[in-house]
Amino acid sequence: MTTSSPQAGPSRVLGTVDAVAIGAGAMLGAGVFSVFAPAAEGAGAWLPVAILIAGLVAYCNAVSCARLAARHPESGGAYVYGRERLGDLWGYLAGWSFVVGKLASCAAMALTFAAYVLPGWERPVAAAAVVAMTAVGYRGVRRSTAVVKVLLAAVLAVLAGVVVAMLASGRLAAVAEVDGLGPWPGSFGVLGAAGMVFFAFAGYARVATLGGEVRDPATTIPRAIALSLGGVLLIYLVVGTGTLIVLGRERLINSTAPLVDVVRVAGLDWAAPVVAAGAAVACLGALITLLMGVTRTTAAMAADGHLPRVLARLGGRHGVPVYAEALIAAIVVGLVLFTDLAGAISFSAFGVLVYYAIANASALRLGPDEPRPPLPVPLGGLVGCVVLACSLPLGAVAVGAAVLAVGAALWWVRDRLSARAGE
């Protein structure tokens, strides 16, 4: 029987290895298998530069989040930071951006998984994946993290195999043959590509949203973010640059499964199904961590009264926010049934960038007696997030701004009703 208690709290069960696995598992999702094709269309031969720009912005965001998490070791991430450092509205907008953006991201991961597993049946398979990963999350964060570790190990093995295929193709030794990539694409082309690549990086600070479940958060969170981000940046540079060289720009931008095409160019057709399976596994690993993060932010907002308080109740033997998990799963299932992958990715990127912009602004408010990062870090992260958000397709920016306005209006109505009730 499910029980709930307002006195219950999440258990601090995650160590450094667990936290690194959550961060890396979130980053090594569908993005590494799909993002390089659209990014190469905008950046061309400058794709590695776009990856580095995205990684630099991610690093600034990660440092800001790590310092804030050390000062505010609670579940909720930038929702908590914005509330404590900038005011209730900004914290609410951070949480709102995170939740709506990550709902779209969950749908994107589920749809990508389904496209690899059973083409033609994407929507029902994606819905089934969401339900299954929610069930895993219900077993508690420790068991969920164990699954993430297994999935991450499988994905790393597949990516290592792809790199071997790149070397076997012989094209890495003939970089000069990669021509026709076009001249400097302009700042907007590179920044647009960086914005898309940033979507693939977006899980680096996922552990910050689980601050209430991490042992020794002041030490574990900064270390885990740095290790997971640094390792994944290296992987993206190797895989992205290698894919560009092996396939060339034109074939890469027209490829729906670039890493599968890489092994085929190397003459390893038998490995194509293995790479496809690795893509599916990566999506599951990212999906489960996404569901964990958005559920806990939803629960944190509900505990503060910004969402129905029932969503904050913890239940079951594992002390998870069961009502929030059920609601999030239902919304994501609805999204995978009625939206498309491209729209989900664009909207998710906008929401994530707004979320981290507020996190960096919060870090700027840390005092001299607190773990304040050097000024260029949060300032660079804030500016970088704004620039990359504006580089996204106009439709995504317009819809994202409209959703933010709706969120702000809901906060204003609640604030006015609370003020009247207190009179």
Specify the pLDDT at position 57: 92
Partners of 214 in beta bridges: 14
Quote the radius of gyration of the chain (alpha carbons, Å): 21
Q: How far apart are CA 65 and CA 6, in angstroms?
A: 28
Output the average pLDDT for the chain: 80
Give the global pTM. 0.80
Residue 178 in domain: yes
Whether the per-residue pLDDT at 45 is higher than 90: the answer is no
Specify the pLDDT at position 173: 60
- Bin 100: left if φ > 0, else alpha if -120 < ψ < 50, else beta: alpha
Residue 211 in domain: yes
Mean pLDDT to the nearest integer, 135-154: 68
Specify the pLDDT at position 7: 39
Count of alpha carbons within 13 Å of 307, Cβ hemisphere only?
24
Residue 175: which pLDDT band, with cuts at 50, 70 and 90?
low
Mean pLDDT to the nearest integer, 72-92: 82
Provide the angle, in degrees to the nearest 10, between the axes of the packed helices 272-303 and 78-85. 30
Residue 420 in domain: no
Q: How far apart are CA 277 and CA 349, in angstroms?
A: 25
Q: Which domain holds residue 341?
A: 16-415
* 18 close to 227: Cβ distance less than 8 angstroms: no
Mean pLDDT to the nearest integer, 397-420: 85
Residue 407 in domain: yes
Residue 376: which pLDDT band, with cuts at 50, 70 and 90?
very high
Which stretch of DSSP H or E encloses residue 300?
Answer: helix 272-303
Number of H-type helices and E-type strands within the chain: 17, 0
Distances (CA, A) of 37 to 122, 127, 131, 347: 21, 26, 30, 18
Mean pLDDT to the nearest integer, 373-397: 89
State the first-to-last Cα distance of the chain, in angstroms, to the nearest integer: 41
Q: How far apart are CA 291 and CA 423, in angstroms?
A: 39
Q: How far apart are CA 74 and CA 208, in angstroms?
A: 8
If one compares 78 and 400, the residue with the highest pLDDT of the two is 400
Specify the pLDDT at position 1: 37
Q: What are phi and psi of 203, to 5 degrees?
A: -90, 5
3-state secondary structure of 39: helix
Please provide the size of the chain in residues.
423
Whether the per-residue pLDDT at 385 is higher than 90: the answer is yes
Which stretch of DSSP H or E encloses residue 21?
Answer: helix 16-27
Helices (H), 44-178: 47-71, 78-85, 88-117, 122-138, 141-169
Residue 421 in domain: no
- DSSP structural state of residue 35: T
pLDDT of 221-246, one tens digit each?
Answer: 777 777 888 888 999 999 998 998 88
Specify the pLDDT at position 388: 93
* 244 close to 178: Cβ distance less than 8 angstroms: yes
- Joined together, the tokens standing for residue 86 give 């900038």
pLDDT of 300-351, one tens digit each?
Answer: 778 877 777 788 777 666 567 778 888 898 999 998 988 877 778 778 888 8
Residue 2: which pLDDT band, with cuts at 50, 70 and 90?
very low
Partners of 320 in beta bridges: 315
Mean pLDDT to the nearest integer, 345-368: 88
Chain Cα centroid distance, residue 127: 19
CA-closest candidate to residue 161, choices 262, 77, 246: 262
Residue 423 in domain: no
Residue 255 in domain: yes
Specify the pLDDT at position 379: 95
Residue 2 in domain: no
Q: What percent of the chain has pLDDT over 90?
A: 14
Give me the number of domains the chain comprises: 1
Chain Cα centroid distance, residue 58: 11
CA-closest candidate to residue 296, choices 44, 7, 11: 11
Mean pLDDT to the nearest integer, 133-145: 65
Instruction: Provide the CATH number for the domain around residue 384.
Output: 1.20.1740.10
Mean pLDDT to the nearest integer, 404-410: 90
50-54, 173-177, 309-313, 355-359: least confidently modelled range:
173-177
Highest mean pLDDT pick, 104-108, 208-212, 216-220, 378-382: 378-382
Specify the pLDDT at position 261: 86
Specify the pLDDT at position 315: 65
